Amino acid sequence: MPVVTITARAPRITSLHVFCAVLVLAILARPLITEAASAPALRTAATVFVAVCVQALPFLVFGVLLSGVIAAFVSPAALRRMLPAHPGAAVPVAGAAGLVLPGCECASVPVARRLIGQGVPDAAALTFLLAAPAVNPIVLVATAVAFPGEPRMVLARFLGSLATACVMGWLWQRAGRAEWIADRARRGTPRRDGENRWAVLAETARHDLVSAGGFLVLGAVAAAALSVLVPPEWMDALAGQLLLAIVVMAVLAVVLALCSEADAFVAASLSMLPLLPRLVFLVVGPAVDVKLIALQAGTFGRAFAARFAPATFVVAILCACAAGALVL
């Protein structure tokens, strides 16, 4: 009998125990960690890592709060009334809605997920996901400030990004499959009768923050590592080669994972390149980068990210080139 009691009361190791163990270990090993982090390259990477996390977290918090507000206060029926019934027409409306969410790309992922959970057509929600970080007023003003004397750059960026968002929306509507998006993203908020709406808001926001935050950190790790690994000589070798410059700038936009409010300043500083590759950098960056891919994989599932990210990459390059040919 006593034996049974002992097994029944044997302590289970839970994540809280592991958590405390990790903390204690980290504090004990602090001298070792500081020693290891004193190499210049590692220190630079650590600074960039913290900078990307610290820069993006407030916008992610803003996004999850908005997601909570939608879950608690906006019913699926009200959302359906706001959008045109025909999904093809809903896509450009969703793209235009991106104009009014002033934030970085991190804010738009949880919001797009919540829109899908509340029954908005996938194509429209994905268009919003791509348009919101790229065409909002803050980003456009930042672009105008970064490119003094080149106002056409602002128009080209606006057209290229809006076109990318709408084309991806229509593409998803024609070729996308509902099952590519993980079930967990579709789950609406279970609303129990009589439950306080503020409690729904808080729980939705908390849940979204925990699930998306880890992926944001993953993206920040990738961006920090690549920021010390990408050789700067790439830039100097590109000056005379337009096609190669376009491809390299598109890849750089993905690996550097800059905030959409800041990328224009970096693009402006690469003055050895012509305007078109820099426009590609500005259109690709807010649509697809390593931290967005990580966030999307975590929110919508890996099957989604594996298809959506490469398709967006190609569409964004093509739309940017078209907008550049038209405007620049």
Partner 1 sequence: MRRETQHVLLVLLGGALLRIAADDTHLRYVKPSHRWLLLAAGAVIVALAVVALVRDLRGHAPADDHDHGGSHVPWLLLAPVLVIALVAPPALGADSVNRAGARNAVVQDGDVFPPLPADPVLTVAEFVQRAAWDTSGSLDGREVTLTGFAVRRGAAVELARLTIACCAADARPNRVRLVGDLGDPPQDTWLRVRGSVQTGSATAATGYVPAMTVAAVEVVDAPPDPYEY
Interacting positions 6-45 with partner 1 (CB under 8 A): 14-16, 19, 22, 26-27, 30, 33-34, 37, 40-41, 43-44
Which parts of 232-261 interact with partner 1 (CB under 8 A)?
232-233, 235-236, 256-259, 261
Q: Tell me how far, at minimum, the Cβ of 223 lies from partner 1, in Å.
A: 7
Interaction residues for partner 1, span 207-226 (CB under 8 A): 207, 209-211, 213-215, 217-218, 220-221, 223-224
Chain positions 274 to 313 lying near partner 1, rule: CB under 8 A, are 298
DSSP-based three-state secondary structure for 120: coil
Which residue lies nearer to partner 1 by CB, 203 or 251? 203
Least distance to partner 1, CB of residue 260, Å: 9
> How buried is 234 (Cβ within 10 angstroms: 0-12 exposed, 13-18 middle, 19+ buried)?
middle
Residue 221, token pair as written in the block? 């790790």
Q: Degrees (nearest 5) of the Cα angle 314, 316, 321?
A: 100
| Radius of gyration for the chain, computed over Cα atoms and rounded to the nearest angstrom | 22
Kindly tell me which of 51 and 74 has the beta carbon lying closer to partner 1: 51
Nearer to partner 1 among residue 166 and residue 209 (C-beta) = 209
Residue among 155, 171, 270, 311 that touches partner 1 (CB under 8 A): 270
Which H/E stretch holds residue 264?
A: helix 263-269
Amino acid at 265: F
Residue 56 burial (C-beta neighbours within 10 Å; 0-12, 13-18, 19+) = buried
The least CB distance from residue 167 to partner 1, in Å, is 28
Neighbours of 318 (CB within 10 A): 16
Among the candidate windows 117-125, 127-135, 142-150, 164-172, which touches partner 1 by CB under 8 A? Answer: 142-150
With contacts defined by CB under 8 A, name the span among 85-93, 117-125, 196-204, 309-317 that binds partner 1. 196-204
Out of 124, 153, 165, 263, the residue judged to bind partner 1 by CB under 8 A: 263
Q: Which is nearer to partner 1, 53 or 292 (CB)?
A: 53
**Cβ–Cβ < 8 Å for 327, 159:** yes
Decide whether 5 or 15 has the Cβ nearer to partner 1: 15
Minimum separation from the CB atom of position 110 to partner 1 (A): 13
For helices 105-117 and 40-73, angle between their N-to-C axes, nearest 10 degrees: 30
Return the residues of window 42-61 that contact partner 1 according to CB under 8 A: 43-44, 46-55, 57-59, 61
- Number of residues lying near partner 1 (CB under 8 A): 79
To partner 1, the closest distance from the beta carbon of 113 in angstroms equals 14
148 burial via Cβ count (<10 Å: 0-12, 13-18, 19+): exposed
Per CB under 8 A, does 82 bind partner 1?
Answer: no
148 binds partner 1 (CB under 8 A): yes
Residues listed for the chain? 328
Please list every residue from 164 through 193 that binds partner 1, using CB under 8 A. 184, 187, 190
Tell me the two tokens of residue 328. Answer: 């620049």
What's the min distance (Å) between Cβ of 47 and partner 1? Answer: 4
Beta carbons of 67 and 185 less than 8 angstroms apart:
no
Handedness of CA 306, 217, 300, 259 (dihedral sign): negative
Query: Is the CB of residue 102 less than 8 Å from the CB of residue 138?
Result: yes
What's the number of CA atoms in the CB half-sphere (13 Å) around residue 166?
17
